[in-house]
């Protein structure tokens, strides 16, 4: 075989017309062999003798796309010192852009004998692990371009490749559960009809299936178990062929962009699938364990874990930072994605022990000319000490607002003392973000997500029902802030069913019309249920898949939700770019403020009203004439004004509309107490409107030529 010297960068396998360059980082290795495998699995081992700045490299002019390969790394095996090199392990390339095959959890995949951790396991893992694949990055993107939706106009839809497509009747069977399935017109039509602007995909980086789940007949459905940060998960591809998943993923992105939908990836850079000291040796452990992972100072055979998965990446190591940044740039530049949601992002900020918002990770993101210009969303917590960091990420970032989720759930389940927190959250959480000049776009608002109850289950169960997970109900959150509306789980009681429908509408109305960026969990718009399972990470079955055989309540909820999204899209006062000031508008100060808080009798809220434990009713006035920021073209923005009336109590309440200083007439647009579309009747200032218990009404200031309803 012809061999050339090659180059130390870029890392990974890079194909061009001259062949393929292979480069691997390891500062601990004493020798590295590149292993090429033919169709029968026979190995050709090529010693890599060139090394520059800890990058081992070689160029093979006769190797091209489709070639399967791996590495064998010789070096110290000394777990007590943090080193786990073992040439018996055929290792994956951390920079591979595609993988072939799957793990079989054979004992050879583990680096040492558990009875004696000081002795390496010499069983060869070849034939039991996945293989890296050389790919050709060429692709005809045509006129593809990012939709570029402003944050303020964004509506995010969190979806799972399999869960979103697995049962859709319009999809051919071979496309269900795949990237190609998402690109199918049936799925695109649903997303565009709903009105979302971005699809946030749960992990699509190559991940592995856990052995302990496989033994139970379960699987790692969520995919938070990454082993390849550059490769689309191969099991989500309908196309057959080594590396075909790369092309299929690009085709999916291109189709979504053509439909005006951005692609955001849920990425897991805080840990890998290799687990703790008892986990398999698949790539990083065998290449340079001490460089890639945070180890316990007192015992370097153990991993410092702030993720609950067994390990955490060593964010202060420059080559780990390089890996993550190279990966992010690859997905933006080569795969055309539009942004990222970072799982357990507080771990990424940990250089030593504490969470440091000025850590090296944030510094390199801030200055990067590619990554700093896409959407960046943090899950602002991890499981370590001081890991809950909602409101503390740098200005470039948006955050999953866990306090929004908790406050909105508490309010609509009738918890005492929630009104003040509820009001702060629905108006953008200025108390969390305004102190460092961030804007409402910093808050990604959500009521439900993949982790926890679905929207329907949130109003149907008081407690989790996770028995199918095989952990005797020990897994999953115990404090869900849910309310079953009078019966646990399924019921045929018409009163309870009506209340549950109303509560779903209340929660969806609150979410879509709050300031900030709303995120909908897939299937919530259809009334999807997981049967009370609030930790369905291991359920790749109808428990987690959307049931597209939608019943009448589901169809009503879909129509209701899409109507709310249209309302938000059409009215900039419902998606302001800046926080409310609370100051009176106009030079005289006699006009209403940009936001005003009213009691049900239309008088201003006083301090004691906010602190009264049983307070559950509120009117919010949003002044469409007091939007101070221009639009994206620099034009002054004005809008209709709105009244949002919330009755989170268990009694019927008569709300009085405020006087003519706010508006002369109002049009009713939403009433969550009714399953019928509102007739948009006109109401005049000072009139009374009765709100059912646990209901929301939305009014818009009426046109001047409209005739008021005298009732």
Residues 126 and 72 in one domain: yes
Residues 368 and 221 in one domain: yes
Output the pLDDT for position 302.
95
Residues 359 and 459 in one domain: yes
Residues 233 and 92 in one domain: no
- In angstroms, how far is the first alpha carbon of the chain from the final one? 90
Residue 12 included in any domain: yes
Confidence of residue 374 (pLDDT cuts 50, 70, 90): very high
Helices (H) and strands (E) in the chain, counts: 16, 35
Please give the average per-residue pLDDT across 173-200, as a whole number.
98
Q: Name the active-site residue from 379, 399, 540, 594.
A: 379
Please give the average per-residue pLDDT across 6-34, as a whole number.
97
Output the pLDDT for position 352.
67
Tens digits of residue pLDDT in 393-451: 888 899 999 999 999 999 999 999 999 999 999 999 999 999 888 999 999 999 999 99
How many Å apart are CA 251 and CA 461, to the nearest integer?
Answer: 40
Output the pLDDT for position 707.
46
Output the pLDDT for position 93.
98
State the residue range of the domain holding 296. 1-143+277-306
How many Å apart are CA 560 and CA 194, to the nearest integer?
Answer: 10
Residues 112 and 173 in one domain: no
Tens digits of residue pLDDT in 326-342: 999 999 999 999 999 99
Tens digits of residue pLDDT in 238-271: 999 999 999 999 999 999 999 999 999 999 999 9
Output the pLDDT for position 590.
61
Residue 236 included in any domain: yes
For 561, the 3-state DSSP assignment is helix
For 294, the 3-state DSSP assignment is coil
Cβ-proximal residues to 17 (8 Å cutoff; 6+ apart), any chain? none
Rounded to a whole number, what is the largest CA-CA distance in the chain?
90
Q: What CATH number is associated with residue 612? A: 2.60.40.1180
Residue 161 included in any domain: no
Confidence of residue 628 (pLDDT cuts 50, 70, 90): confident
Residue 31 · residue 75 · CB < 8 Å: yes
Spatial CA neighbour of 443 closest among 562, 534, 577, 344:
577
Enter the DSSP assignment of 503.
H
Residues 588 and 532 in one domain: no
Residue 6 · residue 61 · CB < 8 Å: no
Residue 201 · residue 266 · CB < 8 Å: yes
Task: Report in angstroms the alpha-carbon separations of 36 from 39, 69, 419, 647.
Answer: 10, 4, 64, 67
Residue 159 included in any domain: no
Output the pLDDT for position 706.
45
CA dihedral 349, 350, 356, 362 (to 10 degrees): -30
Output the pLDDT for position 339.
98
Percent of the chain's residues with pLDDT above 90: 85
Cβ-proximal residues to 134 (8 Å cutoff; 6+ apart), any chain? 13, 15, 20, 63, 64, 65, 66, 67, 69, 243
Spatial CA neighbour of 57 closest among 128, 1, 5:
5
Q: What are phi and psi of 416, to 5 degrees?
A: -70, 150
Residue 665 · residue 702 · CB < 8 Å: yes
CA dihedral 674, 675, 680, 684 (to 10 degrees): 0
For 296, the 3-state DSSP assignment is strand
Q: Is the pLDDT of residue 587 over 50?
A: no
Q: For residue 171, what are its two tokens?
A: 């999809």
For 568, the 3-state DSSP assignment is helix
Q: Strand runs (DSSP E) across 312-456, as ranges?
A: 339-342, 375-378, 398-400, 443-445
Say how many domains are in the chain: 3
Cβ-proximal residues to 390 (8 Å cutoff; 6+ apart), any chain? 380, 381, 399, 401, 402, 403, 432
Tens digits of residue pLDDT in 256-310: 999 999 999 999 999 999 999 999 999 999 999 999 999 999 999 999 998 888 9
Residues 486 and 619 in one domain: no
| Mean pLDDT for the chain overall | 93
Lowest-confidence region among 108-122, 225-239, 485-499, 535-549: 108-122
Q: What CATH number is associated with residue 31? A: 2.60.40.10
Spatial CA neighbour of 447 closest among 507, 399, 531, 495:
507
Q: For residue 165, what are its two tokens?
A: 């497509």
Residue 179 · residue 248 · CB < 8 Å: yes
Q: Name the active-site residue from 50, 343, 382, 639.
A: 343
Output the pLDDT for position 114.
61
How many Å apart are CA 32 and CA 71, to the nearest integer?
Answer: 7
Residue 558 included in any domain: yes
Within 10 Å of residue 375's Cβ, how many Cβ atoms?
A: 23
Residue 706 included in any domain: no
Catalytic residue at 379? yes
- DSSP string covering 633-700: TS-------EEEEEE-SSS-EEEEPP-TTT-SEEEEEEETT-SSPP---EEETT-EEEE-SSEEEEEE
How many Å apart are CA 147 and CA 254, to the nearest integer?
Answer: 11
Output the pLDDT for position 307.
86
Residues 396 and 510 in one domain: yes
| Residue 560, H or E segment | helix 552-570
Q: What CATH number is associated with residue 175? A: 3.20.20.80
Spatial CA neighbour of 516 closest among 431, 432, 426, 639:
426
Q: Is the pLDDT of residue 128 over 90?
A: yes
How many Å apart are CA 225 and CA 5, to the nearest integer?
Answer: 35
Residues 563 and 616 in one domain: no
Residue 158 included in any domain: no
Domain boundary among 521, 550, 573: 573
Confidence of residue 709 (pLDDT cuts 50, 70, 90): very low
Q: Is the pLDDT of residue 116 over 70?
A: no
Q: Is the pLDDT of residue 324 over 50?
A: yes
Residues 211 and 296 in one domain: no
Percent of the chain's residues with pLDDT above 70: 96
Domain boundary among 542, 573, 604: 573
Tens digits of residue pLDDT in 485-540: 999 999 999 999 999 999 999 999 999 999 999 999 999 999 999 999 999 999 99
Residues 300 and 423 in one domain: no
Q: Is the pLDDT of residue 662 over 60?
A: yes
Q: Is the pLDDT of residue 690 over 60?
A: yes
Residue 686 · residue 657 · CB < 8 Å: yes
Enter the DSSP assignment of 346.
H
Within 10 Å of residue 126's Cβ, how many Cβ atoms?
A: 18
| Residue 422, H or E segment | helix 419-426
Q: For residue 440, what are its two tokens?
A: 């409402």
Considering the entire predicted model, what is its pTM? 0.95
Residue 449 included in any domain: yes
Spatial CA neighbour of 68 closest among 94, 45, 32, 35:
35
Within 10 Å of residue 118's Cβ, how many Cβ atoms?
A: 11
| Rg of the chain over all Cα atoms, to the nearest angstrom | 27
Residues 558 and 630 in one domain: no
Q: For residue 288, what are its two tokens?
A: 């340079």
């Amino acid at each position: 075989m012809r061999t050339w010297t090659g180059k130390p960068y870029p890392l990974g396998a890079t194909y061009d017309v001259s062949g393929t360059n292979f480069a691997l980082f390891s500062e601990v290795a004493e020798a590295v062999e590149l292993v090429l495998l033919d169709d029968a699995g026979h190995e050709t081992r090529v010693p890599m003798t060139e090394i520059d700045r800890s990058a081992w490299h070689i160029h093979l002019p006769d190797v091209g796309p489709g070639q399967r390969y791996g590495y064998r790394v010789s070096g110290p095996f000394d777990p007590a010192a943090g080193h786990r090199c073992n040439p018996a392990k055929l290792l994956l390339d951390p920079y591979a852009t595609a993988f072939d095959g799957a793990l079989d959890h054979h004992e050879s995949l583990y680096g040492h004998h558990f009875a004696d951790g000081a002795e390496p396991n010499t069983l060869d893992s070849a034939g039991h692990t996945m293989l890296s694949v050389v790919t050709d990055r060429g692709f005809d993107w045509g006129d593809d371009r990012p939709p570029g939706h402003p944050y303020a106009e964004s509506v995010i839809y969190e979806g799972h490749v399999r869960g979103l497509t697995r049962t859709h009747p319009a999809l051919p069977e071979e496309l269900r559960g795949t990237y190609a399935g998402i690109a199918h017109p049936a799925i695109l039509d649903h997303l565009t009809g709903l009105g979302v602007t971005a699809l946030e995909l749960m992990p699509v980086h190559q991940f592995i299936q856990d052995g302990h789940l496989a033994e139970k007949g379960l699987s790692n459905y969520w995919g938070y178990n990454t082993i390849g940060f550059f490769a689309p998960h191969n099991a989500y591809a309908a196309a057959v062929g080594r590396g075909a998943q790369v092309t299929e993923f690009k085709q999916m992105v291109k189709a979504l962009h053509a439909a005006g939908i951005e692609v955001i990836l849920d990425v897991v850079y805080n840990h890998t699938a290799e687990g703790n000291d008892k986990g398999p040796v698949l790539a990083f452990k065998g290449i340079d364990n001490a460089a890639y992972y945070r180890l316990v100072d007192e015992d370097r055979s153990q991993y410092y874990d702030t993720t609950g998965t067994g390990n955490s990446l060593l964010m202060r190591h420059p080559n780990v930072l390089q890996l993550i940044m190279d990966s992010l740039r690859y997905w933006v530049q080569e795969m055309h994605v539009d942004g990222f949601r970072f799982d357990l992002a507080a771990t990424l900020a940990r250089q030593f022990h504490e969470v440091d918002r000025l850590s090296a990770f944030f510094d390199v993101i801030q200055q990067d000319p590619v990554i700093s210009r896409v959407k960046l969303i943090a899950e602002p917590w991890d499981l370590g000490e001081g890991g809950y960091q909602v409101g503390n990420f740098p200005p470039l970032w948006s955050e999953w607002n866990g306090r929004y989720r908790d406050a909105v759930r508490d309010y609509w389940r009738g918890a005492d003392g929630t009104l003040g927190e509820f009001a702060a959250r629905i108006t953008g959480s200025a108390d969390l973000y305004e102190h460092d000049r961030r804007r409402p776009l910093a808050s990604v608002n959500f009521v439900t997500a993949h982790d926890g109850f679905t929207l329907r289950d949130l109003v149907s169960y008081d407690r989790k029902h996770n028995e199918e997970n095989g952990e005797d109900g020990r897994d999953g959150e115990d404090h869900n802030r849910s309310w079953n509306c009078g019966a646990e789980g399924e019921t045929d009681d018409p009163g309870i069913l009506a209340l549950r429908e109303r509560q779903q509408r209340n929660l969806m109305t609150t979410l879509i019309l709050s300031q900030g960026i709303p995120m909908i969990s897939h299937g919530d718009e259809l009334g999807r249920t997981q049967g009370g399972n609030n930790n369905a990470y291991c359920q790749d079955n109808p428990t987690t898949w959307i049931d597209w055989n939608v019943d009448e309540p589901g169809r009503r909820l879909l129509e209701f939700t899409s109507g709310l999204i249209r309302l938000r899209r059409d009215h900039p006062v419902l998606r302001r770019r800046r926080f409310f000031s609370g100051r009176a508008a106009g030079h005289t100060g006699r006009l209403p403020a940009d936001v005003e808080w009213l009691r049900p009798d239309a008088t201003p809220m006083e301090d004691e009203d906010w602190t009264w434990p049983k307070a559950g009713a509120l009117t919010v006035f949003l002044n469409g004439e007091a939007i101070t920021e221009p639009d994206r073209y620099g034009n002054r923005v004005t809008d209709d004004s709105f009244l949002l009336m919330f009755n989170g109590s268990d009694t019927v309440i008569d709300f009085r509309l405020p006087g003519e200083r706010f508006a002369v007439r109002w049009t009713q647009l939403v009433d969550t107490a009714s399953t019928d579309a509102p007739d948009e009747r006109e109401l005049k200032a000072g009139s009374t409107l009765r709100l059912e218990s646990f209901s929301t009404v939305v009014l818009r200031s009426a046109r001047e030529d409209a005739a008021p309803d005298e009732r």
